[in-house]
Amino acid sequence: MSEASDPIFARIAARYDLINRVLSLGQERRWRSLGIDMLSPGTVLDLGCGTGATDFAGRTVVGLDPVIEMLVLSPVRDRVVGVGEALPFRDGAVDGVFSGFVFRNLTSIPETLEEIERVLRPGAAAVVVDLARPRNVLLRFVHRIGTAVILPLVGLVFARAPKEYWYLHRSLDSLPPPEQFFQGHTLIPERIWRMGLFGFVYGVRLRKPAS
């Protein structure tokens, strides 16, 4: 999905879930589950599934990720090596799409949104959960300082990869706020919400028109 981030995730694959739990103070799975609850039953594409740690509450899951080192750790039965910009599925193939902590690392978000819309059945929804800077100017400044220090430190302690986590710090400034970014696409943003300390985690539910 991104020539910059894929080698990073390949190197930290074995410790990826542990580091996420540490950085989120154990809240990452809860943030994911809030998004999953907004999806319909049926077949769900986990876009950028990584190690497959997401619980889809009995739904049929197809996991897709470009990083083989992450994908081989996934317990999901149906796994596909691929990228969001060129999904290897037919039109209308899935009842929902979920993407957790992936979007800011994509090579082309517009192309990925087009592909998500294509593979969704009419009327179905996609949910994106990811990180962003807080909306408040002062909190955004504090958060930027914090991630510049904490992310490389955690990367050093848990994965001996401080440079890789410095990249993740910079990726938080790569996109506009989600309240702006997901407007103006044919996928309709039905709900956008914030979670976590300072509201630095967001979720968005996008619906494909029924016709």
With cut-offs at 50, 70 and 90, classify the pLDDT of residue 152. Answer: confident
Domain residues of the chain, as ranges? 6-133+175-207
Under CATH, which number does the domain 6-133+175-207 receive?
A: 3.40.50.150
Strand pairing report for 60-65 and 78-81: parallel
Name the residue with tokens 């909190």: 139
Count the neighbouring beta carbons within 10 Å of the beta carbon of residue 176.
11
Tokens matching residue 56: 């889809």
pLDDT, tens digit, 9 for 90 and up, residues 7-32? 666 676 667 777 778 778 889 999 99
What is the spatial distance between Cα 49 and Cα 67, in angstroms, rounded to a whole number? 10
What is the spatial distance between Cα 70 and Cα 120, in angstroms, rounded to a whole number? 25
**119 compared with 107, residue with greater pLDDT:** 119
Q: What is the pLDDT of residue 158?
A: 67
pLDDT, tens digit, 9 for 90 and up, residues 197-211? 899 999 999 999 997
The helix (run of H) or strand (run of E) holding residue 141 is: helix 137-159
Which of the 8 DSSP states describes residue 174?
Answer: S
* Helices and strands (H, E) in the chain, number of each type: 8, 7
Q: What is the mean pLDDT of residues 125-150?
A: 92
Tokens matching residue 16: 């990826």
Q: What is the pLDDT of residue 2?
A: 47
With cut-offs at 50, 70 and 90, classify the pLDDT of residue 159. Answer: low
What is the spatial distance between Cα 52 and Cα 73, in angstroms, rounded to a whole number? 7
∠ at Cα 100 (99, 103), nearest 5°? Answer: 70
